[in-house]
Amino acid sequence: MAAAPRLFPAVTVALLFCFPAAVRSRRDALELGDADFDYLATGHETMLVKFYAPWCGHCKKLSPEFEKAATRLKGTVQLAKVDCTAHSETCARFGVSGYPTLKIFRNGRDSAPYDGPRTADGIYQYMKKQTGPDSAHLKTDEHLQTFISHYDASIVGLFSGEDSPHLAEFLRAAGLLREQFRFAHTVDLKLGEKYGVSSESVLLFRPPRLDNKFEDSVVVFRDYLTIGSLRRFIRDNIYGLCPHMTAENRDRLRVRDLLTAYYDLDYHHNVRGSNYWRNRVLRVASKYSGRGLTFSVANKKDFLSELEDDFGLGTSDGGELPFVTIRTKLGHKYTMREEFTRDGRSLERFLDEFFAGRLKRFVKSEPIPERNTAAVKVVVAESFDEVVNDPNKDVLIQFFSPFCPHCKKLEPVYRDLADTLSSDPNIVIAKMNAADNDVPLGYDVQGYPTIYFAPVGRKDEPIRYEGGRELKDFLKFLKSKASHSLVSTGSRDEL
């Protein structure tokens, strides 16, 4: 007689049928959905979740980096993803309105938005800092030397004892800033003697690979210790005269006007060679310090796609010499056309022309339309200032991609809005193809469509539109934000 078939335990059967998305995944990033999100998310102390749409260009670009990071973080931090076109309930529950959206979850609860870099190494480094203590406890000079001999800068607090109120404040600051910087502390004040410090203080150690004769490698914090004062100290001193710009720190560096020399830089395998050109940039930077321009160096290979898109640099352009650019905080871009000379004089001439206002900006732009008579005005990069930054007009600007289905769905509503307000001389309804034109800084476009309102008197503070996408929603928003009473066309009563 044949043996009776062995039955699966009931709980196993339930898992197989209720949570197919997670079981199907063969990659290190879990695939979650409406049915299994809560069950599986609560099983991880820390989890980074990517909410995406398969058609989204930014999502496609992020995907391989996200998968690489998931593999590197396996066993430490779980990475997961949710396809919002298939699992809209979960995405709506967590307020996902654009793609990709990344959020950090702790034990299944939405903890914080992820605002770090979007490269594999950047995600790894950022999420790695989400684990372990906020500040490492150093007990010996050997521990200190090991901690500061690191690729990144180090912030070390020196305190008289575990009960020091300054230590408590330092640890609170470390908890808030751990995603950006490395923190450690000691209660042995003798460890600070070799750096000229004998009382409670904080030392900032710049990365050893960036040591140079133009600036100190260790900076001492001498202000009264609060979270705010420590944050300002780190911000003002951590990068020095000429930092190494990476995909992870570029956004923090670009809050100011920034000059960058791109070349074959490799601090992992060739520190001396990497510093050859950096020292020449440093020499010039020391002459122009205090004039509102930050200097940096970067590995050209790490920014090839950006250099191609933003500055028209081909993969074979530039050769061994640095390719120098300036990107201002307003989004203006300049390139040094003269060959970089070893004595730095070409760089000095470039800077003299920049500060004198004689350089021509580099702009990635479609041609300005010869006729622009439709109700929705077409804006390109070269006409952005003229149209959107017109000081006398309120402007609603939609950033779109020709391939985005959500943009195509919005098009008739947006056109209807423009028709409704076509007789209002004080407002402009506009759109710009963000795939083929430079988007000015101040406009954060991570997905399509993205809509901003640039009001009269506040052109440097555009307001992101987060409302509904029906005609009445747009009109309600504009009525509340416009600098004047709206004027509608015809017999429309939406106002």
Cα dihedral across residues 383, 388, 389, 390: positive or negative: positive
**Listed residue (211, 148, 221, 160) closest to 187, CA to CA:** 160
Distance (Å, rounded) from C-alpha 185 to C-alpha 129?
A: 16
3-state secondary structure of 451: strand
- Reference 285, options 309, 307, 257, 319; nearest CA is 257
The residue count of the chain comes to 495
What radius of gyration do the chain's Cα atoms show? Answer: 27
For this structure, is 242 an active site residue? no
Of 84, 91, 242, 404, catalytic: 404
Which residue in this structure is represented by tokens 């470390």?
174
Q: Where are the alpha helices (DSSP H) in 163-321?
A: 165-177, 227-237, 250-253, 271-288, 304-311
- The active-site residue, picked from 59, 84, 91, 242, is 59
**Could you say which of 84, 91, 242, 407 is catalytic?**
407
Q: Which long-range contacts (CB under 8 A, 24 or more apart) does 301-307 make?
A: 301/264, 302/246, 302/247, 303/247, 303/262, 307/262
Distance (Å) of CA 470 to CA 239, 288, 412, 416: 47, 52, 10, 10
Annotated active-site positions, please? 56, 59, 404, 407
